[in-house]
A and B are shown apart, each in its own frame.
Chain A
Amino acid sequence: MIFFKTAKQFIRMQQNNSLDKLKIGEIVKIHSIQTSDIPAKFYELGFYPGSVIEIKHKAPFDGPICVNILENNSLIAVRVSEAKLIITEII
């Protein structure tokens, strides 16, 4: 049983992508944020663990990524550099 549990965790880990890797239209849940350097403003605008988001737009050449924070139905954009630190999980 313990093995099974870890295997399941293992599979889940594989599905955890950072925000910048996702494609437009994907709906995911924020799993964790990898650094404490991210300002609290990210949390306040809806980038906190547990929040459900949809990728809406991506500016070309690794420009900002715009997501819909489903809880508020608000469009928030962040840079790729910060998106890399936001880990998401498939729901």
Chain B
Amino acid sequence: MKNQNIVLVGNPNVGKTSLFNRLTKLNQKVGNYPGITVEKREGSLNANGKTYHIIDLPGTYTLFPNSLDEEIVFKILSEKENKHYPDLAIVVAEPASINRSVILYQQIRELGVPAVFVINMMDELGSKGIQIDFDQLEFYLKTKVYKTNARSGKGLDKLIADLELIPPPFFSTFNINNVYWDAMEEAKKVFPLATEYLTWQYLAQEEVSHLDNDKKQALEKIRTKYNLNISEMQKAESLARHDTVNKAMEAIIIKSQNKNLNTTSKIDRLLLHPVLGYIIFYGLLFLIFQAIFSWSGPFMDWIDNSFATLTAYLANIIPEGPLASLFIEGIVAGIGGIVIFIPQIVILFLFISLMEESGYMSRVVFLMDRWLKPFGLNGKSVIPLMSGAACAIPAVMAARNIENPKERLLTMLVTPFMTCSARLPIYIVIIGLIIPDQSFFGINLQGITLFLLYLLGIFGALGSALILNKIIKSVRSSYLIFELPTYKFPDWKNVLTNVWDKASGFLFEAGKIILMISIVLWVLGNFGPTRDFYNAENIVVENNPTLPEEELSQVVASYQLEHSFLGYIGMGIEPLVRPLGYDWKMGIGLIASFAAREVFVGTMAVVYSLGGDIDIEDDGQKRTLLTRMNAEINNNTGKPAYNFASGISLLLFYAFAMQCMATIGVVRKETGSWKWTLIQTLFMTGLAYVAALIAYQILK
């Protein structure tokens, strides 16, 4: 069947995603390209009596890749064996920057891919002061030119109806400097079947990952022989194309004053103001934080209660036994532990996609680059770092659009230091234990401690970036160049699909790992190596014959945990955590929270025989837990287990340690390397240990 596979290609900010959403009618899915973590958006369109498969390729200015995202664009457009190799490319442009899109269009045609040209955002033609001679443009591009407005859907019917048409042949317009001719002749022998332009692309790229080694070596030999400089070749092409396209377009496009840019300039005068710009940005950050913490509250409570009701209901209807316990306390509770983060992730990504859609995000990059550069990061690191304050998992994923490999790696390595929402329950409990609820000069001491812990997260991230920046060698020199798009009203469809993609991605991807760990933890906590574990009830009754009925089960649970695998592991690591001021019970909490930090509170509740379902938001229950923890004596020191010294030590440990399996999983996936994942885990946990040790030894 002809024109089965269709790809959308275009510069960033031309409304390509809106067009994709329109064409597929949201009949789409988001995944990853095999082997790399570039987001793959594909969907289907039923029209003309058949089903088209449509891929929305990442936005790019050129076929020469500068980032992982752009590599995939070249791969799909050039690799004929690829199952996504397009029968037709739809090159999407917007009125103001047609020249740039024409260059991309020419490159695609010269690779041998048939293409049509779409000018989207046609509604802005007037306000951008642009007149286009469409017949001339069609003649010049040797293809159909469509006028669309993806937001209103205008012009799409025509585009869809014409999808069966095959564009006429296209012959190259690109004249390359004669210094490259000899090298090209030789390269053509290596790729007898490729178009000349594709051969040129192979020659002028640093490394084409999908070529086999023989071909790569042959290319490298030619580059050495002719002393070719890749960057110079790409620039030569860029110059040659700019020159011809600009000349040709002079007759086709007439520009007068761009009113949109005027509006954008006015807004930018405020948002990029050296003082006001920062105040507005921090104000917005504050609002986002506020939203993540307070707006999500009711939703999280609701999810929590629903799961509590569900567990209670299941416990009622399923006959008791180890399998029921695994299902209810392991799996259902595990899923509950994942779902509870959805409100925060939704709110965070709602803000992030609004910022991206409106064009504000690049302004943030503009404002922040100066302050992040000294740490080896770049302006684009702001987004992952900010997101890290909610959850490191989507935050690490957000580092994808950083071009420089080193800066991207650094960003991913330090993002988990940011105080994520899972640390919050632990901070609240421990601060409640060791910091008096008093005001000092009108400032609540507990509040200020919490604030300091957030600052500590930021310092942890930036400080380690500084250290790692010295250690990691840079492959490419650091640079930053980015476009500040004109301001637009966000397209709600894009915002909502983006939020849905991110939330469901977290739910299913990270969820798998969290669920697995919950099950492992459940097994470790519910089975023991000795008979003490299984005879817990008899032993407890024997030792405390007078214990009332309702306390009995809790004491039994506590006794069981003590003699479970988890309990023994806790005791096993006690020598390790003793210098930090913890006893084996806290050791259990630490071990358990290596799966996910938020497990700590629940585990401590079980250890102290209060039953696992402690709701830290519920004041009564919180007080019970706090009272119980306050009364706890550390057997090693004979002092309260949660005194000021051990409390601070715990806080520091939780602030720095990598205690989240899901993050480890995501970092492994995103870095593609176990080496960096392990370095990160060891670095963070090592730092946590040393900080906690020093704090405890000084304060005790």
**A residues lining the B interface (CB < 8 Å):** 36-45, 47-49, 51, 56-57, 59-64, 66, 68, 71-79, 81-82
Contact A59 B238 (CB under 8 A): no
B310, CB-defined interface residue at 8 Å: no
The closest CB in chain A to the CB of B379 belongs to A64
B484 CB contacts on chain A under 8 angstroms: 66, 75-77
- How far is A37 from B474 in the complex, measured between Cα atoms in Å? 14
A36 CB contacts on chain B under 8 angstroms: 229, 231-232
Of B261-269, B590-598, B630-638, B640-648, the one with at least 4 CB within 8 A of chain A: B261-269
Contact B481 A61 (CB under 8 A): no
Contact A42 B481 (CB under 8 A): yes
Contact A40 B366 (CB under 8 A): no
B64, CB-defined interface residue at 8 Å: yes
Complex interface residues of chain B between 270 and 289 (CB less than 8 A to chain A): 272, 274-275
- How far is A79 from B229 in the complex, measured between Cα atoms in Å? 24
Contact A79 B480 (CB under 8 A): yes
Given A37-B231, A44-B238, A63-B367, A76–B483 Cβ distance below 8 Å? yes
- How far is A79 from B238 in the complex, measured between Cα atoms in Å? 21
Contact A44 B96 (CB under 8 A): no
Q: Is the interface of B mostly helix, strand, loop or mixed?
A: helix
A78 CB contacts on chain B under 8 angstroms: 479-481
Given A43-B239, A45-B61, A57-B272, A77–B481 Cβ distance below 8 Å? yes
A-B interface contact total, Cβ < 8 Å: 122
10 more CB-based (< 8 A) A-B contacts, given A73-B97, A75-B261: A36-B231, A40-B62, A40-B64, A41-B64, A44-B238, A56-B265, A57-B272, A73-B96, A73-B255, A74-B100
Contact A45 B481 (CB under 8 A): yes
Complex interface residues of chain B between 353 and 403 (CB less than 8 A to chain A): 362, 365-367, 369-370, 373, 379
Closest 9 CB pairs of A and B: A63-B370, A40-B234, A43-B238, A75-B484, A60-B274, A72-B97, A73-B96, A57-B272, A44-B62
Given A41-B62, A76-B484, A59–B96 Cβ distance below 8 Å? no
B181, CB-defined interface residue at 8 Å: no
- How far is A74 from B485 in the complex, measured between Cα atoms in Å? 7
B411 CB contacts on chain A under 8 angstroms: none
B24, CB-defined interface residue at 8 Å: no
Given A40-B231, A78-B480, A71–B246 Cβ distance below 8 Å? yes
A66 CB contacts on chain B under 8 angstroms: 268, 272, 366, 484
Q: Mask for B227-264, Cβ within 8 A of A = 1, else 0?
A: 00101101101110010001000000001001001001
- How far is A18 from B274 in the complex, measured between Cα atoms in Å? 22
| B99, B272, B379: the one within 8 Å of A72 (CB) | B99
| A38, A43, A57, A61: the one within 8 Å of B366 (CB) | A57
B143 CB contacts on chain A under 8 angstroms: none
B229 to chain A, nearest CB (A): 6
A65 to chain B, nearest CB (A): 9
* Interface size bracket, B side: 35 or more
Given A66-B484, A72-B99, A38–B369 Cβ distance below 8 Å? no
A44 to chain B, nearest CB (A): 5
B477, CB-defined interface residue at 8 Å: yes
- How far is A45 from B246 in the complex, measured between Cα atoms in Å? 14
Contact A59 B366 (CB under 8 A): yes
Given A59-B366, A79-B480, A82-B479, A44–B61 Cβ distance below 8 Å? yes
A55 to chain B, nearest CB (A): 12
- How far is A54 from B364 in the complex, measured between Cα atoms in Å? 21
Contact A76 B255 (CB under 8 A): no
B367 CB contacts on chain A under 8 angstroms: 59, 63
The closest CB in chain A to the CB of B275 belongs to A60
A38 CB contacts on chain B under 8 angstroms: 231, 479
B28, CB-defined interface residue at 8 Å: no
Give 12 pairs: A residue, B residue, CB < 8 Å, sorted on A. Answer: A40-B231, A40-B238, A49-B239, A51-B242, A56-B265, A73-B255, A73-B261, A75-B264, A76-B482, A77-B483, A79-B373, A81-B479
Contact B258 A64 (CB under 8 A): no
Q: Mask for B211-237, Cβ within 8 A of A = 1, else 0?
A: 000000000000000000101101101
The closest CB in chain B to the CB of A76 belongs to B483
A64 CB contacts on chain B under 8 angstroms: 366, 369-370, 379, 480
B66, CB-defined interface residue at 8 Å: yes
A82 CB contacts on chain B under 8 angstroms: 479-481
A49 CB contacts on chain B under 8 angstroms: 239
Which of B128, B235, B481 has the most A CB atoms < 10 Å from its CB? B481
Given A40-B231, A44-B61, A56-B268, A73–B477 Cβ distance below 8 Å? no
- How far is A62 from B369 in the complex, measured between Cα atoms in Å? 10
- How far is A40 from B128 in the complex, measured between Cα atoms in Å? 28
| A41, A48, A68, A73: the one within 8 Å of B66 (CB) | A41
Given A44-B238, A57-B268, A64-B370, A76–B481 Cβ distance below 8 Å? yes
A37 CB contacts on chain B under 8 angstroms: 231, 477
- How far is A76 from B366 in the complex, measured between Cα atoms in Å? 10
B495 to chain A, nearest CB (A): 23
B275 CB contacts on chain A under 8 angstroms: 60
- How far is A38 from B479 in the complex, measured between Cα atoms in Å? 8
Q: Mask for B58-79, Cβ within 8 A of A = 1, else 0?
A: 0001101010000000000000
Contact A61 B479 (CB under 8 A): no
B61 CB contacts on chain A under 8 angstroms: 41, 44-45
- How far is A81 from B486 in the complex, measured between Cα atoms in Å? 25
A62 CB contacts on chain B under 8 angstroms: 370
The closest CB in chain B to the CB of A78 belongs to B481
Contact B239 A48 (CB under 8 A): yes
Given A36-B232, A57-B366, A73-B261, A41–B96 Cβ distance below 8 Å? no
- How far is A60 from B689 in the complex, measured between Cα atoms in Å? 39
A45 CB contacts on chain B under 8 angstroms: 61, 100, 481, 483
A68 CB contacts on chain B under 8 angstroms: 261
